[in-house]
């Protein structure tokens, strides 16, 4: 498929540079097909961009080959296209951006912001601070490394020296936020021991490279924002504004995720799923809107987009209309 379509001791941010044209993005990881949870993030970021007459870009975050599924990136792009989520410009693929990440690391190294670390995840997981953390959550690291066995030729991880100060920002859905990165996660990884670049580095470098002014994504990434802000400051990069939308959870209360094999959208009605996403985001679409042509649904959604209706909402269950649509096996519209 063709990728192209037409803060003081307290570091404070929350307002993009005035006068910059709006640029938003959707940045999925190709670990599987899109599901309803990722659709919510795509719909919210798309509507915010279109309602503000801005660009909506797509970036494929393909930096972790062990987690990726063959063909998933192409499937994601095809699904976005079928759902009427048409992006602007070429698709950025992080796997082609290694030189940019190396350059950013060199800049940080020269300024004294990096340190080498041989600690393993197993060691860090045993720390009292990490015993209640969720799987996949960034593990807290002490100011100094733990004793580590270094095999010959083992490459260290590169960690960013987290500044011990509060970071404040105003999230446009979740409200005022404050975090001290040094005390919540400590020095965090920018390049892993296996040589792969970490998400925190790539997202900061790529948001700046693409001129992103506003980041709209799921609330599961809210805790990452302070880490990204201090990294932006260290690299002298502009700060986007942030909007963290609620994430969809299943009946068990767990986040819908590709890794948990949440049902994908391949056989679902695009119109019904877009309307379900609008309901999930509390946009109150009119009854019967799912029977309208997809173009009309998007026209209504852009004209009536009010992200503040989801203020303070971090999670939500999948609307019943979606479950009904899946059970009927409705075709796309």
168-200 residue pLDDT tens: 999 999 999 999 999 999 999 999 999 999 999
Largest CA distance in the chain: 65
- In this prediction, residue 325 carries a pLDDT of 47
Cα–Cα distance measured from residue 28 to residue 25, given in angstroms and rounded to the nearest whole number: 10
- In this prediction, residue 183 carries a pLDDT of 92
Residue 10 confidence class, pLDDT cut points 50, 70, 90? very low
Nearest Cα residue to 28 out of 257, 187, 300, 292: 257
- The HSE-up count of residue 205 (CA atoms within 13 Å, CB side) is 24
Structural domains for the chain: 11-96+246-328 (3.40.50.620), 98-240 (3.40.50.620)
- In this prediction, residue 118 carries a pLDDT of 86
Answer whether 0.85 is exceeded by the pTM: yes
Nearest Cα residue to 227 out of 154, 183, 162: 162
For residue 281, pLDDT over 70 is answered with yes
Quickly list H helices, the chain.
36-51, 72-82, 98-110, 121-125, 181-184, 199-209, 225-234, 270-280, 294-303, 320-328
Residue 8 CB-density burial (10 A; 0-12 exposed, 13-18 middle, 19+ buried): exposed
Q: CB of 255 within 8 A of CB of 37?
A: yes
For residue 4, pLDDT over 60 is answered with no
Q: CB of 236 within 8 A of CB of 7?
A: no
pLDDT tens digit sequence for 202-244: 999 999 999 999 999 999 999 999 999 999 999 999 999 999 9
- In this prediction, residue 249 carries a pLDDT of 85
Cα–Cα distance measured from residue 45 to residue 221, given in angstroms and rounded to the nearest whole number: 14
Q: What residues contact 198, with CB distance under 8 A and at least 6 apart?
A: 188, 189, 190, 191, 192
- In this prediction, residue 147 carries a pLDDT of 73
Residue 17 confidence class, pLDDT cut points 50, 70, 90? low
| Residues above pLDDT 70, as percent of the chain | 82
- In this prediction, residue 153 carries a pLDDT of 66
Cα–Cα distance measured from residue 116 to residue 31, given in angstroms and rounded to the nearest whole number: 29
Cα–Cα distance measured from residue 262 to residue 247, given in angstroms and rounded to the nearest whole number: 13
CA 136 → CA 121, 125, 132, 188, 206, distances in Å?
A: 11, 11, 12, 14, 22
């Amino acid at each position: 498929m063709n990728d192209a379509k037409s803060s003081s001791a307290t570091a404070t941010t929350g307002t993009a540079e005035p006068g910059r044209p709006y640029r938003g993005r959707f940045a999925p990881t190709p670990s599987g097909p899109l599901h309803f949870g990722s659709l919510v993030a795509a719909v919210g970021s798309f509507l915010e961009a279109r309602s503000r007459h801005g660009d909506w870009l797509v970036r494929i975050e393909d930096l972790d080959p062990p987690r990726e599924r063959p063909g998933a990136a192409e499937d994601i792009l095809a699904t976005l296209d079928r759902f009427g989520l048409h992006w602007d410009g070429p698709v950025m693929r992080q796997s082609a951006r290694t030189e940019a990440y190396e350059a950013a690391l060199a800049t940080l190294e020269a300024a004294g912001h990096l340190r080498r670390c041989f600690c393993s995840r197993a060691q860090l997981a045993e720390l009292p601070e990490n015993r209640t953390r969720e799987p996949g959550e960034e593990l807290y690291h002490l100011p100094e490394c733990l004793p580590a066995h270094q095999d010959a030729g083992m490459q260290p991880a590169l960690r960013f020296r987290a500044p011990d100060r509060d970071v404040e920002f105003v999230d446009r859905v979740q409200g005022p936020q404050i975090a001290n990165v040094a005390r919540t996660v400590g020095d965090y990884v920018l390049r892993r021991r296996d040589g792969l670049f970490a998400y925190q580095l790539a997202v900061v470098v790529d948001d700046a490279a693409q001129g992103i002014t506003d980041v709209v994504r799921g609330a599961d990434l809210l805790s990452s924002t302070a880490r990204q802000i201090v990294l932006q400051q260290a690299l002298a990069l502009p700060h986007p504004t942030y909007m963290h939308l609620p994430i969809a959870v299943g009946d068990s209360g767990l986040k819908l995720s590709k890794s948990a094999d949440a049902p994908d959208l391949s056989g679902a009605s695009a119109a019904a799923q877009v309307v379900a996403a609008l309901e999930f985001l509390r946009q109150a679409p009119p009854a019967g809107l799912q029977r309208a042509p997809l173009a009309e649904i998007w026209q209504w959604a852009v004209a009536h987009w009010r992200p503040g209706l989801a203020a303070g909402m971090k999670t939500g269950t999948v609307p019943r209309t979606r479950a009904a649509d899946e059970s009927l096996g409705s075709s796309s519209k």
